[in-house]
């Protein structure tokens, strides 16, 4: 009845069912999977959204790539991050997820493939399938730090592959793209004709970045797309403003933007009020960003200091982002452990398989929750994991 682009099984998984059941019974569950910044007690400036009511927005001037002042404000925001880009190489979208959908329409035919990191953000499965594109994984390997396994990228290459996706810092491993990896990946991309799509939504949240951390637009010889948005950079997922910066050789960029314009013009999905407000939202968003960065740093310090007394749990190094990976003894399945934490400790964590880790056992913990809640809940996680080992 419905398209095969949708999952065949729409049933919630055991963990989601268990959370729903707990909440229906009125049990307060501490959510260490929380990724919504509007729910964790940040103080948003009261006039933050005022510019959305600017009467300028009463006029509709449809522009496929976005209104110029908004594109200029995004270009200035790239420059804040040390990336030189002109506003004519910026396109606005309603979110990063939509940016993926538009880029897959631009670059792929039905049945084509894109290379995606593993472990990474689970939405790729849906974002690709909904565009009739296959997500072919390449691996990130952990050897003291998470790095891209370049051979796995080579092995994943087929004639159907039309783009290479890089998430930096990656969700959930927190690993940035490194300069030497980018150099090799750019060569591979050039040889195969792949543009590089860089998801840099968490780039503002550096925790312990390696000095060699970089961004996709540093590869100036290949076509690159750098994705970002207010969702993460200003803690405003509900405002719905994302963007794509396009980099690479001028002729390729111009031809790509001309074709992209057709795709974007078909939907014109970014509302006028958010475009008019963009310069102000980007400027004031810095106040929220600073709070988020302070929060994730504080929670990481708390976690590391508690974990020191629980040798069974290895808090993996994290270069950036909003989450951290705990390596735990594989004495029971990740699912069993996550269910036990929920049932016995009223704490929700993500099992590693949710992000497609190659092996067990990992838990992924969000660094966003309010510090007191976070400290209490991670204490319970550390005790439960350790008790399971010594029992
Ligand atoms: C790596 C990554 N990319 C993109 C997104 C989606 O961002 P947006 O809200 O702009 O669609 C997320 C959301 O969690 C994410 O983790």
97 Cα: distance to centroid of ligand 1 (angstroms)? 6
The pick from 123, 135, 172 for probing ligand 1's pocket by mutation, whose C-beta has the most ligand atoms within 8 angstroms, reads 123
Residue among 116, 121, 216, 354 to mutate when testing ligand 1 (max atoms within 8 A of CB): 121
- Quick one: which of 179, 174, 117, 125 has its CA closest to 149? 117
CA distance 254 to 147: 32
Q: How far, in Å, is the centroid of ligand 1 from the Cα of 200?
A: 9
What pLDDT shows up at residue 390? 61
- What is the pTM assigned to this prediction? 0.97
Tokens 């159907």 map to which residue? 160
Work out which ligand 1 atom sits closest to the CA atom of 242.
10
The stretches in the chain having pLDDT less than 50 are none
pLDDT at position 210 = 87
**Residue with CA at minimum distance from ligand 1 atom 15:** 121
387 CA to middle of ligand 1, Å?
Answer: 35
Cα–ligand 1 centroid distance for 92 (angstroms) = 15
SS (HEC) of the chain: CCCCCCCCCCCCCHHHHHHHHHHHCCCCCEECCCCCHHHCCCCCCCCCCHHHHCHHHHCCCCCCCCCHHHHHHHHHHHHHCCCCCCHHHEEEECCHHHHHHHHHHHHCCCCCEEEEEECCCCHHHHHHHCCCCEEEEEEEEECCCEEECHHHHHHHCCCCEEEEEEECCCCCCCCCCEHHHHHHHHHHHHHHCCCEEEECCCCCCECCCCCCECCHHHCCCCCEEEEEEHHHHCCCCCCCCEEEEEECCHHHHHHHHHHHHHHHHHHCCCCHHHHHHHHHHHHHHHHHHHHHHHHHHHHHHHHHHHHCCCCCCEECCCCECCEEEEECCCCCCHHHHHHHHHHHHCEECEEHHHHCCCCCCEEEEECCCCHHHHHHHHHHHHHHHHHHHHC
Ligand 1 pocket at CB < 6 A: 35, 95-97, 121, 167, 171, 199, 201, 229, 231, 237, 242
Task: Calculate how far, in angstroms, residue 22's C-alpha sits from the geometric centre of ligand 1.
Answer: 28
Closest approach atom of ligand 1 to CA 35 = 14
Per-residue model confidence as pLDDT tens digits over 186-206: 999 999 999 999 999 999 999
CA 227 to ligand 1 center in whole angstroms: 9
Q: What is the mean pLDDT of the chain?
A: 97
Q: Distance from the CA of 237 to the center of ligand 1, in angstroms? A: 9
State pLDDT tens for residues 321-346: 999 999 999 999 999 999 999 999 99
**What is the predicted pLDDT for the residue at 1?**
82
Please give the domain boundaries of the chain with CATH numbers for all domains: 14-43+286-390 (3.90.1150.10), 58-284 (3.40.640.10)
CA distance 121 to 2: 25
pLDDT at 388: 72
């Amino acid at each position: 009845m419905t398209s095969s682009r949708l999952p065949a099984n729409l049933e919630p998984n055991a963990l989601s069912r268990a959370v729903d059941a707990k909440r229906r019974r009125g049990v307060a569950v501490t959510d260490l999977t929380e990724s919504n910044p509007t729910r964790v007690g940040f103080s948003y400036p009261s006039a933050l959204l005022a510019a959305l009511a600017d009467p300028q927005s009463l006029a509709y001037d449809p522009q496929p790539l976005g209104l110029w002042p908004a594109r200029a404000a995004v270009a200035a925001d790239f420059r804040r991050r040390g990336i030189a880009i002109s506003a004519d190489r910026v396109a606005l979208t309603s979110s990063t997820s939509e940016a993926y959908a538009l880029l897959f329409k631009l670059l792929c035919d039905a049945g084509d493939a894109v290379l995606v990191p593993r472990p990474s953000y689970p939405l790729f499965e849906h974002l690709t399938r909904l565009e009739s594109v296959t997500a072919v994984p390449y691996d990130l390997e952990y050897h003291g730090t998470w790095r891209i396994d370049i051979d796995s990228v080579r092995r994943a290459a087929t004639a159907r592959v039309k783009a290479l996706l890089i998430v930096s810092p990656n969700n959930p491993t927190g690993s940035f793209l490194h300069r030497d990896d980018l150099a090799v990946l750019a060569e591979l991309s050039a040889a195969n004709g792949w543009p590089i799509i860089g998801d840099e939504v968490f780039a503002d949240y550096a925790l312990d970045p390696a000095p060699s951390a970089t961004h996709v637009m540093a590869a100036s010889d290949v076509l690159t797309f750098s994705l970002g948005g207010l969702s993460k950079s200003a803690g405003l997922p509900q405002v719905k403003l994302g963007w794509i910066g396009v980099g690479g050789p001028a002729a390729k960029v111009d031809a790509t933007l001309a074709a992209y314009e057709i795709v974007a013009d078909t939907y014109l999905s970014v509302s006028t009020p958010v475009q008019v407000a963009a310069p102000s939202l980007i400027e004031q968003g810095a106040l929220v960003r600073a709070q988020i960065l302070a929060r994730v740093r504080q929670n990481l310090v708390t976690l590391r200091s508690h974990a020191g007394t629980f040798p069974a749990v290895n808090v993996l190094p994290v270069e950036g982002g909003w989450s951290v990976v705990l390596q735990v003894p594989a004495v029971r399945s990740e699912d069993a452990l996550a269910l036990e934490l929920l049932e016995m400790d009223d704490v929700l964590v993500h099992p590693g398989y949710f992000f497609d880790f190659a092996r067990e056992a990992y838990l992924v913990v969000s660094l966003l929750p309010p510090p007191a809640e976070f400290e209490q809940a991670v204490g319970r996680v550390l005790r439960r994991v350790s008790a399971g080992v010594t029992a």
